[in-house]
Amino acid sequence: MEVQVTCDGCGFQGEAALFRAVGNVMCCGPLVFRECPRCGNKVICDRQEMQGEYEDAARQMAGRVDEAIREGRVGEAEEILRELSQLNRRLNLAPLDDFIRAARRRIRQAGAAPP
Ligand SMILES: [Zn+2]
C-alpha cells in the first residue's frame, strides 16, 4: 500500500514518493523531512519502512476489536479503538477509518441491545 503524505502547510496530499526527502529530523530517529511538491513546505514523516510495522500493529488491533465486540467486551473494544484511531492519525488509512467508524457503530448497537 502506498504511503500517503499530507502537507500541513497547503493541504496537498499525495504519495510519499512525490515528496522529496530532504533529511532526517534527528540524526538517526525514525522521522524525516519531506518537501511538499506544491508549496515547498517541509513535512515531517515517519520513515516509510516504519509504516509496515504500524500497519501490522493496526491489523492486530482491529482483530482484537472484532473479537472483543463479538464477545461483548465493550469496554475493552472501546479502549483498543481509541488506540487504533490514534495510530491511524499517523497511518492515514481510509479503510482503517471506515473500520473504526463501523466498530463504534457496532459497539453502540451492542450497548443498546437488551442483554
Ligand atoms: Zn504544501
For residues 101 and 73, membership in a common domain is answered with yes
**How much distance in Å is there from the Cα of 11 to the middle of ligand 1?**
6
For residues 76 and 94, membership in a common domain is answered with yes
CA distance 47 to 33: 9
**How much distance in Å is there from the Cα of 95 to the middle of ligand 1?**
24
Give the tens place of pLDDT for each residue, 30-74: 677 889 999 999 988 766 556 777 788 889 999 999 999 999 999
For residues 53 and 104, membership in a common domain is answered with yes
Q: What pLDDT is attached to residue 76?
A: 96
Q: Which residue has the cell 524525516?
A: 32
For residues 69 and 102, membership in a common domain is answered with yes
For residues 55 and 41, membership in a common domain is answered with no
Q: What's the domain count of the chain?
A: 2
**How much distance in Å is there from the Cα of 6 to the middle of ligand 1?**
8
Q: Which amino acid does the sequence have at 71?
A: E
For residues 70 and 106, membership in a common domain is answered with yes
For residues 108 and 82, membership in a common domain is answered with yes
For residues 12 and 56, membership in a common domain is answered with no
For residues 54 and 18, membership in a common domain is answered with no
Q: What pLDDT is attached to residue 101?
A: 96
**How much distance in Å is there from the Cα of 10 to the middle of ligand 1?**
4
For residues 56 and 29, membership in a common domain is answered with no
Q: What is the mean pLDDT of the chain?
A: 85
CA distance 37 to 89: 22
Residue 4 and residue 45 in contact, taking contact as beta carbons nearer than 8 Å: no
For residues 53 and 107, membership in a common domain is answered with yes
Q: Provide the residue range defining the domain that includes 58.
A: 49-112
